[in-house]
Amino acid sequence: MRCPFCLGSETKVIDSREANDGDQIRRRRECLVCKERFTTYEFAELSFPRVIKRDNTRETFNEDKLKRGMVKALEKRPVSTEKIESALSRIKRRLRALGEGEVSSEVLGDWMMDELREIDDVAYVRFASVYRSFQDVKAFEEEIKRLHEEKREEETVIGEMIQS
């Protein structure tokens, strides 16, 4: 690793830690020539499957596009960057674990909705309204009702687990 300050090729690692939910290794380095310190990140470069869009065209998986969609849904919501990054990491792990050469955009959208449902109900409904192309207020009401029912069922299951 070359030093970004003096371009010296001799550096030593001072500290290593996991970053981004274990998807990366953060290394703190020191140049043996100029003594400056800097940080590098190491990650496995894995290929993602191609995405089959609704119109049947195919495109390369775009992590930035996925992140933009999540950030847009979570705009002005009290959700930390760490939660967003963790959710995106889970989606990418699922995508790699799928082991397929192609995946439909619907599958990615469903995974995004799963993550948003866990993070923030408002963001979930925002995303669902665009993803499912809600046409009127009734569609919003139905989705919110469904969300409430799911939450009630989860609370019931948790209550039963605590009692037993």
Q: What angle do CA 114, 120, 99 make, to 5 degrees?
A: 25
Name the residue type at position 121.
D
Nearest to 101 by CA among 32, 157, 49, 149: 49
Residue with structure tokens 């930390």?
A: 80
Q: Where are the alpha helices (DSSP H) in the chain?
A: 63-73, 81-98, 105-119, 121-131, 137-163
What are the φ and ψ backbone dihedral angles of 3, each rounded to 5 degrees? -70, 130
- pLDDT for 104-153, tens place per residue? 999 999 999 999 989 998 898 888 888 777 777 777 778 788 877 877 77
- pLDDT for 65-78, tens place per residue? 999 999 999 999 99
| pTM beyond cutoff 0.85 | no
Partnered with residue 59 across adjacent β-strands are 51
Element (H, E) at 154: helix 137-163
CA distance 22 to 16: 12
Q: 36 and 87 in contact (C-beta within 8 Å)?
A: no
What are the φ and ψ backbone dihedral angles of 92, each rounded to 5 degrees? -65, -40
Identify which has the larger pLDDT, 97 or 14. 14
